[in-house]
Amino acid sequence: MAINDTKTAILDSAQDLIQRLGANAMSYDHISKSVGIRKASIHYHFPTKENLLESLLERYNENFLKIVDDLFSSSDPEDKKLLKYMGLFEATLQDGDHDKACLCGMLGAELFTLGPAAADRVRYFYNENEKRLTSLLDNGKKKGNFKFKGNSKKLAALIFSFLEGALLLVRAEGGVKKFQSVKEQMMDLVKS
């Protein structure tokens, strides 16, 4: 396996494990077995678990926020953009055995056990999502797609918190169907 392929495979495996189990439950042994390489090979690319988490979060943030930026810059009306945004979280839940949560949602639950750099990257993800949602809500309200009362920034925080929390809760009971139900309720709140 080429060096970049090995590094990508390690990051892919770590992401999958964290999204299902959390960072504290994931070990280099799990990754070693998943990728089919020795633990020493993982340490070559990521000397510490913190190095691995930092690289993983950089990749995840960049990829996810690019998808959001592309989605929000489309010509779709704001209500459709919001539905598609919520669909990103739903797609995470539907992946694999329907047991995954957002990477940053899982790491947020373990925030105080992370190193400072990884914790800052999780906070960055949260802040950037809320900024983008605030802008979307402001634009939608100006255009008449949304009719919610109150502050766009506070509603953006509510929506983002709802999505992160809902992924964690529906894994315990109800799964995708329950997520879809609460997603519809959130849209009713925003549009009325």
Residue 2: pLDDT above 80? no
H or E stretch including 177? helix 175-191
Percent of the chain with pLDDT over 90: 81
Tell me what the mean pLDDT of segment 67-80 comes to.
Answer: 97
Please, what is the average pLDDT of the chain?
94
CATH for 50-191 (3.40.50.11540, 1.10.357.10, 1.10.3720.10, 1.10.275.10): 1.10.357.10
Closest CA to 82 of 181, 151, 166, 184: 184
Q: What is the pLDDT of residue 31?
A: 98
Region of residue 22 (left: phi > 0; alpha: psi -120 to 50; beta: else): left
Instruction: Tell me the longest C-alpha to C-alpha distance in the chain.
Output: 57
Nearest C-alpha neighbor of 38 from the set 2, 6, 11: 6
Question: Structure tokens of 18?
Answer: 């964290």
User: What's the rounded Cα separation, in Å, for the pair 150 and 137?
Assistant: 11
Over 80: is that where the pLDDT of 75 sits? Answer: yes
**Tens-place pLDDT, residues 4-62:** 799 999 999 999 999 999 999 999 999 999 999 999 999 999 999 999 999 999 999 99
Whole-angstrom distance, CA of residue 192 vs CA of residue 190: 6
Residue-wise pLDDT tens digits, 101-150 = 999 999 999 999 999 999 999 999 999 999 999 999 999 999 999 999 99
The tens digit of pLDDT for each residue in 164-179 reads 999 988 888 878 888 8
Q: Where are the beta strands (DSSP E) in the chain?
A: none
Q: Count Cβ atoms below 10 Å from residue 128 Cβ, excluding itself.
A: 15
Listed by start position, the domains of the chain span 50-191
Q: In the predicted model, is pLDDT for residue 70 greater than 80?
A: yes
| Residues 6 or more apart whose Cβ sits within 8 Å of residue 121 | 54, 57, 58, 61
Predicted confidence at residue 1, as pLDDT, reads 58
